[in-house]
Structure 1
Amino acid sequence: MDVARITIAPSTAFQVHDWLRKRVQQGDLPPGMRISETEVAAAIGISRQPVREAFIRLASDGLAEVRPQRGTYISKISVAAVLSARFIREAVEADLARIVAQTRPAEMLDRMADEIALQTAADQTGNVNDFIESDDRFHRLLALAAGQEAVWADLDRLKAQMNRLRHLSMRAFDRGFIIGQHQQILDALRKGDANASETAMRTHLRQMLTEVPQMAAAQPDYFTD
């Protein structure tokens, strides 16, 4: 396990958990990998207790498995959890799109356009992490534009497994296609077309229905039902 780049200070269980969660979602810690309390604690320079607490929290997220007498292992990606989160996101974000199409807050729509530009730049350089971070900001801005920031916070907590899949799929599939879908959503929002905005959002979030079986077939050891 590569822990040389940890720079958490002061370190707490929450900070260690957030750092580990991010690395799992980005694929730096792949499914099936064993992670060591001793190794992480030594690298950060803290006792094992906060690291143990972070591991427990990671397990409660469904991202790790604590196996008695054997250690802690990164969990496989749950297809059921991915599809459940996708279903909820579609239902919620389709409604958010309708709301924003009716109000068309110019500043927020301009910020969404800025994110599309950042996604294009990240795609050109092959920076998948930056691409996905911008993708998340694009969708968060939709919630903000609808006056529903708390809704995005709830969605963000739901999509831990989905994020793991996204980091795999964004390396395998055409990111330009996702950029095009974002542009279609934004164009419909700017026109104030609620029906087209909803349809564009649903089409975009249903893309994962195609990606899940393809990624599971390509890397079966990474996935579980």
Structure 2
Amino acid sequence: MIIGLTFKPNEALSEKELAVRLGVSRTPVREALIRLAEETLVDVFPQRGTIVSPIRVAEVMEAQFLREALEAAVARRAAEQPSTTLIRDLSRLIDDQTHAANAGLPEDYMPLDEAFHRTISEGTGMPRAWRLIQSVKGQMDRVRFLSLPNKAHMLLLTEQHAEIFKAIETQDPDRAEAAMRHHLKEVLKTIQELAAEMPAIFA
């Protein structure tokens, strides 16, 4: 809900209201908010309560740096000896992404984007690498969500995914690493444009 901007940056959150909305007790909500605070997606202020954090440009840049370092290495490893299952799964995901992008369906595209990156990590035998990436990329994901309604942007990301896939399929580690680095730098271009358009939600 935070990443998808159902809850906007700087919006106050109530444990009680969240528990009712989600149909759970307040205890798991409180535990979730603690986790979200650790991931810097919410800010907790004594006497004031919990608010959704603004999108902090510095944290997006840091997350991009960490993600690029890890995923570029994963892509290189994937291209060294890809399994037939990995190639099949990535090919199918590229087809599905192309359909979602051409149809202008960002709500379908984002899960497919996530699946593409997760599949590379898991298909290379490194599922913990993806879990580590997930723990740092929340701020980055909010920027991605803001940019996805742009059909041209979805098509561009799909082209970049296809380049990563082709490098893995042809067992070209150097090309796979370079393509992944290029792809993950895309958010750095996007964030400058979005911050200028929507300064109220950025910090």
Q: Fold match, TM over 0.5?
A: yes
Verify the 8 A CA contact 1:26 1:129 in the aligned structure 2.
no
The aligned amino acid for 1:41 is A
Residue 92 (structure 1) aligned with residue 70 (structure 2): yes
**Superposition TM-score, scaled by structure 2 size:** 0.91
Query: What does residue 139 of structure 2 align with?
Result: 161
For structure 1, list consecutive stretches of 5 or more residues without a partner in the other structure. 1-22
Q: How does 1:170-189 map to 2 (within 5 A)?
A: 170-172=148-150, 174-189=153-168
Q: Where do 4+ consecutive residues of structure 1 move more than 4 Å?
A: 44-47
Q: Cα deviation per residue 1:152-204 (whole Å; 9 max; x = unaligned)?
A: 11111111111111101112452100000111111111111121111111111
* SS of equivalent to 1:24: coil
Shift of 1:51: 3.0
Tell me which moved more, 174-183 or 194-203: 194-203
Query: What does residue 97 of structure 2 align with?
Result: 119
For structure 2, list consecutive stretches of 5 or more residues without a partner in the other structure. none
Query: What does residue 135 of structure 1 align with?
Result: 113
Shift of 1:56: 3.0
**Superposition TM-score, scaled by structure 1 size:** 0.82
Residue 61 (structure 1) aligned with residue 39 (structure 2): yes
Change (3 A) 1:220 1:195: same
Task: Identify which of structures 1 and 2 has the higher relative contact order when contacts are C-alpha pairs closer than 8 Å and 6+ apart.
Answer: 2
Query: What does residue 73 of structure 1 align with?
Result: 51
Query: What does residue 129 of structure 2 align with?
Result: 151
Change (3 A) 1:44 1:196: closer
Q: Aligned-residue CA RMSD in angstroms?
A: 1.8
Change (3 A) 1:92 1:47: closer
Residue 211 (structure 1) aligned with residue 190 (structure 2): yes
Quote the sequence identity (%): 37
Change (3 A) 1:42 1:147: closer
The aligned amino acid for 1:96 is V
Verify the 8 A CA contact 1:31 1:76 in the aligned structure 2.
yes
Verify the 8 A CA contact 2:97 2:109 in the aligned structure 1.
yes
Residue 28 (structure 1) aligned with residue 41 (structure 2): no
